Amino acid sequence: MIFSDIENNDKLINDLQTAINNDSVHHAYIFEGPGSVDKKSFAKAFTKALLCQKEKGKGCGICDVCRKTQNENHIDVTFLEGTVAEGRHHKSVKDEGIEMLCSRLQKKPFEGNRNIAIICDADIMSARAANRLLKTLEEPPLGTVIMLLSENPEVLPKTILSRCVRCRVAGYEEGASPLKGKAEETVYMLVEKAPFYKLKKNIDFIGKDPDKAGEFLDCMEETYGELIRGKGCRSELFEKEYIYDAVSAIEKAKAEIRKKTSVDYAVKKMILEIGG
């Protein structure tokens, strides 16, 4: 996938291409959007546009640079994803991984003039990992471009947010999810301490469908993100710590579903954890 293959993101793509062509690329970006949006493919497309020698600012998709980036084996492009530690149940981006990444960024590129890092699951960086990354964000080596992929940037430290350009990546299909309204209703029912039997009735439509659950949880996270930015209706009802805890509970439910835990169990457990 290259920029020309991506729909519904024309303004963002144009801004990034302008930065490339004007040699004004920032050293750090946050590509944010719900889990249903393929942010990793977008980051790869941006990387191809940065590194491709045949189609600067666009990416050709067929040269060695583009193919290596797509296959995640370009020597100057480092991918980092969350892992599950022994004895733990949830993924996180570990301090050791960030340490290795930062060490690589201190070295000169092998094939061009840029080192690029793509950090998936940026929302689940450990505190130590975030602090270590901050040092590199504060003093980035020349030519470095770091991309953080995030579903909820609000959970990232403000010190990291302030050093990154935030870019909202839209879904490749137009229109909001049909589950957004149901998710918003559930979020407000939770803060108003609605009884569990009413909440259960509101989520029974999910059943055992992991895809439907994933979309619903994405919509809940998107709603909490709007609330913390003060964009949601009655946002004054929600304290930041409450929202952070709710998002954490949603992430746990997603992780359990990915591990093939019962969808019904994972979602109900999340509802109880947020509802208290």
Is pLDDT of 228 > 80?
A: no
What is the per-residue pLDDT for 177?
65
Cβ-contact 26, 56 below 8 angstroms: no
Residue 209 has pLDDT above 60, yes or no: yes
Residues above pLDDT 70, as percent of the chain: 91
- What is the model's pTM? 0.64
When the pLDDT of each residue in the chain is averaged and rounded to a whole number, the result is 86
CB contact set of 57 (below 8 Å; sequence gap of 6+): 17, 20, 21, 49
Of 260, 134, 243, the residue nearest 191 (C-alpha): 243
Q: What is the mean pLDDT of residues 177-204?
A: 83
Angle at 90 between CA 88 and CA 95, to 5 degrees: 80
pLDDT, tens digit (0-9, with 9 covering 90-100), for 54-103: 999 999 988 999 999 988 899 999 998 876 555 554 566 777 889 898 99
Q: Tell me the C-alpha distance between 251 and 234, whole Å.
A: 24
Q: For position 174, what pLDDT does the model report?
A: 44
The pLDDT-based confidence of 235 (bands split at 50, 70, 90) is: low
Q: What is the torsion angle, in degrees rounded to the nearest 10, for the CA atoms of residue 177, residue 179, residue 185 and residue 191?
A: -90
**Backbone phi, then psi, for 221, in 5-degree steps?**
-65, -40
User: Looking at the DSSP assignment, which residues form a beta bridge with residue 30?
Assistant: 148, 166
Residue-wise pLDDT tens digits, 153-183: 888 889 999 999 999 998 754 445 668 778 8
In this structure, what token pair is assigned to residue 257? Answer: 């579903």
Asked if pLDDT for residue 225 goes beyond 90, the answer is no
Average pLDDT over residues 24-47: 90
Q: What CA–CA distance (Å, rounded) separates 226 from 232?
A: 6
* Structural Rg of the chain based on CA atoms: 20
Residue 109 CA to residue 237 CA, distance in Å, equals 49
Model confidence over 102-158: pLDDT tens digits? 999 999 999 889 999 999 888 888 888 888 899 999 999 999 999 999 988 888 889
Rounded average pLDDT over 208-227: 86
For tokens 């992430």, the residue is 251
Helix (H) or strand (E) holding 20: helix 10-21
> SS3 breakdown of the chain: % helix, strand, coil, rounded to 5?
55, 10, 35
Do 254 and 35 touch, CB atoms closer than 8 A?
A: yes
247-252 average pLDDT score: 92
DSSP string, 171-229: PSSSS--TTHHHHHHHHHHHHTT--HHHHHHHHGGGTT-HHHHHHHHHHHHHHHHHHHT
Q: What mean pLDDT do residues 201-220 have?
A: 87
Contacts of 88 (CB under 8 A, 6+ apart): none
CATH architecture of 3-168: 3-Layer(aba) Sandwich (3.40)
Partner residues linked to 147 by β-bridges: 29, 118
User: Which residues, in sequence order, are CB contacts of 39 under 8 Å at separation 6+?
Assistant: 31, 32, 33, 120, 149, 150, 169
CB atoms within 10 A of CB 54: 12
